[in-house]
């Protein structure tokens, strides 16, 4: 059993079930009597509906758990959920660290703010961590489960806070921001005297035609530097704390397992607590070893078109998918050997849309150990 975590972060590549698993871990927390919050990102419509969070963004809201009585579950704790809105989170940060509401407005209304906030901050990943930090400070949850966006660039969410402050403090911006020069002069300077490297960098981010507006934007943005810097430090410290545990969600396909191993190899270089893998969508086996070979023997005695033979062959074919899943899980375990790493298995649920909370409870039961 793990030390009881206060925060569980679910990471992984696209479509493996991060949002579903995060919600199920949240449910496991609530069933154990914890005051729990799940921070989801873009949940499937049905899941959001069954959790009652379809319309609510960026604000924790109680999940009505009354319906759990139908599936025989005593309700001991509580479950809140929210849908993380990265843009709103970033906007709020700008407001928080601007020296005046006017400066905040100048940034937020700059036509390139939305583009830049998305591009420069790696903001989706960063904002999940940022919001976690904020919620952790402002609320008293026993357990917060954090869903993350698909890990396209595996380490984005770990490097984003630092990348942002590096960019703000980099020579490029200092060079751009010259208080004495007018914006148009700076634009002129860039076009005429900028080292090729910087022009190329700017071009690759935004294109030269918007340099003036961007320059203005950055001179406002520079204002936020120290606020962002200390905030990034605090977010990093939270992520390194032993009460924050990271789980990699994956699925039993070759690609998903390979990506999980690759992602793990990168994550272990960081100062975070990587707690384990959750392999989701596993096909349950239809036979045990004895029944499997018995059914093979029976098939060999039946005619090709015997309906029993056809049925047995079909179930054996389905069963072989389950065997294949087990082989993939074994290969994952063989490649990532560490006493400290836990493995949890979560079956494919046939009710694919996960239409009610009882289904989530079924997944939660297999993941109970995750919450310590
Ligand atoms: N154990 C399961 N059994 C059946 N269906 C599942 C299971 N887990 C997830 N799904 C389904 O798979 C789909 C993807 O799940 P989910 O949205 O949780 O993945 P994700 O990793 O969050 O995706 P994304 O990377 O797009 O955010 C959804 O339709 C969900 O209902
Ligand atoms: Mg998701």
As residues whose CB is below 5 A from the ion ligand 2, the structure lists 18-19
State the average pLDDT over residues 265-272. Answer: 84
- CB 346 near ligand 1, within 6 Å: yes
> Which residue's CA is the nearest one to ligand 1's atom 16?
17
pLDDT tens sequence across 159-171 = 666 666 665 555 4
CATH architecture of 7-86+117-156+232-286+319-371: 3-Layer(aba) Sandwich (3.40)
State the average pLDDT over residues 63-86. Answer: 85
pLDDT tens sequence across 113-135 = 766 666 554 556 677 778 888 89
DSSP symbols for 145-174 = EEE----SSTTHHHHHHHHHHHHHHSHHHH
Q: Which of 205, 231, 216 shows the shortest CA–CA distance to 103?
A: 216
Residue 49 has pLDDT above 90, yes or no: no
Residue 331 has pLDDT above 90, yes or no: yes
- CB 34 near ligand 1, within 6 Å: no
Provide CB contacts within 8 A for 62, sequence distance 6+.
Answer: 52, 78, 79, 80
d(CA 321, CA 315) in angstroms, rounded, equals 10
Nearest atom within ligand 1 for CA of residue 23: 18
pLDDT category of residue 253 using cuts at 50, 70 and 90: very high
Nearest atom within ligand 1 for CA of residue 147: 22
Calculate how far, in angstroms, residue 306's C-alpha sits from the geometric centre of ligand 1.
38
Nearest atom within ligand 1 for CA of residue 46: 31
| Residue-range domain boundaries for the chain | 7-86+117-156+232-286+319-371
Return the pLDDT at 300: 93
């Amino acid at each position: 059993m793990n030390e009881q975590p206060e925060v569980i972060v679910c990471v992984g590549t696209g479509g493996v079930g991060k949002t579903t698993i995060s919600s199920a871990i949240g449910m496991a927390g609530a069933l154990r009597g914890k005051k729990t919050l799940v921070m989801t990102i873009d949940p499937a419509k049905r899941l959001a509906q069954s959790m009652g969070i379809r319309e609510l963004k960026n604000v924790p809201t109680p999940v009505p758990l009354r319906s759990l009585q139908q599936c025989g579950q005593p309700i001991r704790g509580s479950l809140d959920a929210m849908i993380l809105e990265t843009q709103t989170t970033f906007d709020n940060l700008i407001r928080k660290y601007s020296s005046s509401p006017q400066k905040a407005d100048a940034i937020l209304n700059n036509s390139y703010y939305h583009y830049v906030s998305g591009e420069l901050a790696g903001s989706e990943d960063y904002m999940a961590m940022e919001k976690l930090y904020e919620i952790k400070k402002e609320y008293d949850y026993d357990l917060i489960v954090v869903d993350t966006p698909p890990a396209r660039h595996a380490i984005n969410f770990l490097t984003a806070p630092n990348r942002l402050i590096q960019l703000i403090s980099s020579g490029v911006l200092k060079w751009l921001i010259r208080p004495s020069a007018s914006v148009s002069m700076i634009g002129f300077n860039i076009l005429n005297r900028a080292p090729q490297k910087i022009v190329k960098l700017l071009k690759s981010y935004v294109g030269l035609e918007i340099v003036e507006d961007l320059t203005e934007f950055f001179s406002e943005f520079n204002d936020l530097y120290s606020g962002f810097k200390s905030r990034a430090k605090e977010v990093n410290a939270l992520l390194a704390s032993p009460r924050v545990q990271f789980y990699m969600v994956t699925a039993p396909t070759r690609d998903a397992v390979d990506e999980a191993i690759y992602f793990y190899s990168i994550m272990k270089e960081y100062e975070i607590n990587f707690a384990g893998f959750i392999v989701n969508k596993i096909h349950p086996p239809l036979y045990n070893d004895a029944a499997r070979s018995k059914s093979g023997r029976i098939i060999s005695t039946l005619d090709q078109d015997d309906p029993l033979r056809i049925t047995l062959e079909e179930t054996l074919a389905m069963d072989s998918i389950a065997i294949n899943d087990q082989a993939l899980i074994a290969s994952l375990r063989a490649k990532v050997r560490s006493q400290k790493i836990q493995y949890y298995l979560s079956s494919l649920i046939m009710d694919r849309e996960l239409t009610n909370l009882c289904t989530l409870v079924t997944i939660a039961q297999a993941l109970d150990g995750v919450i310590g």
